């Protein structure tokens, strides 16, 4: 059960937090976020006939995606996107869309035309141009899921990397410190402009970045406005 942060805990000072939820463990975190996704999908589809959902990469969201296929989601009206992708060949085990196929797509019935993943095999520049033109057809993303790296990056927006300062919708990334060096990422403006943003942050490895953000460091994860943070206890900086 998520503990809604009261005034007692300093973690509520996350600078861009719309809400902060602390979960006992990653399993509880994953189930709660999966249920949030299902609720947002129902609301968006009821209001606008479509739910534009941006999935996060990395390892943390795996369990959340694992739980989604058990929930009542009208996948025929869900359009899936990616917040970032690694410039690797299609089907490479290290691609984010491979993880999403394994944890979600192979277990749900969603029309192939609803999948809008990043053609990162084209290389950073061509893939970013391709993806930006696709996204121009979307007035507003409904929900963006985001992870946070140990250095405070989110999507493939890394501290000190020029891509993080780009105003573009889809941005080529070079010299990323987390392999592979070449990636494509959604830019900060489109991420912040989504109706809803949810961070999934778990594990002791994220403590130092959270601590820096609480101390005012303007790390990329801290620059996504009005986000809902879901943290497990292991990620909390020492009280």
Q: Does 86 bind ligand 6PG (CB under 6 A)?
A: yes
Q: Does 56 bind ligand 6PG (CB under 6 A)?
A: yes
Dihedral over Cα of 39, 74, 132, 172: its sign: positive
Choices 22-30, 40-48, 153-161, 219-227 (CB under 6 A): range interacting with ligand 6PG = 153-161
Could you identify the residue written with the tokens 């809803």?
196
Q: How far is the CB of 234 from ligand 6PG (least distance, A)?
A: 12
DSSP-derived pairing of the beta strands 143-146 and 196-201: parallel
Choices 21-29, 43-51, 56-64, 118-126 (CB under 6 A): range interacting with ligand 6PG = 56-64
Q: How far is the CB of 158 from ligand 6PG (least distance, A)?
A: 9
Q: Does 147 bind ligand 6PG (CB under 6 A)?
A: yes
Q: Does 120 bind ligand 6PG (CB under 6 A)?
A: no
Dihedral over Cα of 60, 63, 65, 71: its sign: negative
Q: How far is the CB of 85 from ligand 6PG (least distance, A)?
A: 7
Is 30:67 a contact under the CB 8 Å cutoff?
yes
How would you class 219 by CB atoms within 10 Å of its CB: exposed for 0-12, middle for 13-18, buried for 19 or more? buried
Q: Does 149 bind ligand 6PG (CB under 6 A)?
A: yes
Please state whether the peptide bond connecting residue 180 to the residue before it is cis, i.e. omega within 30 degrees of 0. yes
Q: Does 220 bind ligand 6PG (CB under 6 A)?
A: no
Q: Does 152 bind ligand 6PG (CB under 6 A)?
A: no
How would you class 29 by CB atoms within 10 Å of its CB: exposed for 0-12, middle for 13-18, buried for 19 or more? buried
Q: Does 173 bind ligand 6PG (CB under 6 A)?
A: no
Q: State which residue, 24 or 150, has the beta carbon closest to ligand 6PG.
A: 150
Neighbours of 162 (CB within 10 A): 12
Q: Does 57 bind ligand 6PG (CB under 6 A)?
A: yes
Strands (E), 58-176: 78-82, 84-86, 115-116, 143-146, 170-173
Chain residues in the site for ligand 6PG (CB under 6 A) = 56-60, 84, 86, 96, 147-149, 153-156, 178
């Amino acid at each position: 059960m998520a503990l809604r942060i009261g005034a007692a805990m300093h973690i509520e000072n996350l600078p861009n937090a719309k809400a902060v939820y602390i979960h006992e463990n990653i399993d509880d975190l994953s189930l709660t976020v999966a249920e949030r996704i299902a609720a947002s999908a129902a609301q968006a589809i009821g209001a606008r006939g479509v739910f534009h959902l941006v999935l996060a990469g990395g390892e943390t969201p795996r369990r959340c995606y694992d739980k989604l296929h058990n929930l009542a989601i009208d996948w025929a009206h869900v359009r899936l996107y990616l917040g970032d992708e690694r410039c690797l060949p299609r089907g490479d085990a290290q691609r984010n869309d491979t993880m999403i196929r394994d944890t979600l797509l192979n277990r749900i019935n969603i029309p192939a035309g609803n999948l809008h993943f990043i053609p990162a095999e084209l290389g950073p520049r061509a893939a970013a141009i391709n993806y930006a033109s696709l996204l121009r057809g979307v007035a507003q993303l409904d929900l963006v899921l985001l992870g946070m790296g140990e250095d405070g990056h989110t999507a493939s927006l890394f501290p000190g990397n020029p891509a993080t300062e780009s105003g573009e919708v889809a941005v080529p990334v070079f010299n990323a410190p987390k392999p592979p060096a070449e990636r494509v990422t959604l830019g900060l403006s489109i991420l912040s402009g989504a109706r809803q943003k949810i961070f999934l942050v778990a594990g002791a490895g994220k403590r130092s970045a959270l601590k820096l953000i609480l101390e005012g460091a303007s790390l990329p994860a801290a620059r996504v406005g009005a986000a809902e943070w879901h943290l497990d206890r292991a990620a909390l900086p020492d009280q």
